[in-house]
Amino acid sequence: MSIRLRSDVLNAKAEEAGDHTSLAIATRAGVRNSTITRLLAGETTPSIATLVRLRDAYGLDTLDELLALTSEVPEVEQVPA
């Protein structure tokens, strides 16, 4: 199992607030633009601190609204014995 940001929820809340770019989202939440870009692309897992900032920035009730569980299994590099 893997935890991912629900980018659909974040994008919808951002649009409601007039934030149309990752930079606008990052500025409102007080996080780096590169973090938001990677989260929206599904390239990284959000930290609790980032989730709290996003929740507070967009007036969400819980962190759960921003989270999705996936059944993806991360790729593990095989190292010869």
pLDDT digits (tens, 9 = 90+) for 52-63: 999 999 999 999
Q: Which domains does the chain have, with CATH numbers?
A: 2-70 (1.10.260.40)
pLDDT of 34: 96
**pTM summary value:** 0.83
Q: Dihedral angle at the C-alpha atoms of 23, 44, 29, 66, nearest 10 degrees?
A: 120
pLDDT of 70: 80
Q: Dihedral angle at the C-alpha atoms of 23, 24, 30, 31, nearest 10 degrees?
A: -30
pLDDT digits (tens, 9 = 90+) for 17-48: 999 999 999 999 999 999 999 999 989 999 99
Q: What is the mean pLDDT of the chain?
A: 90
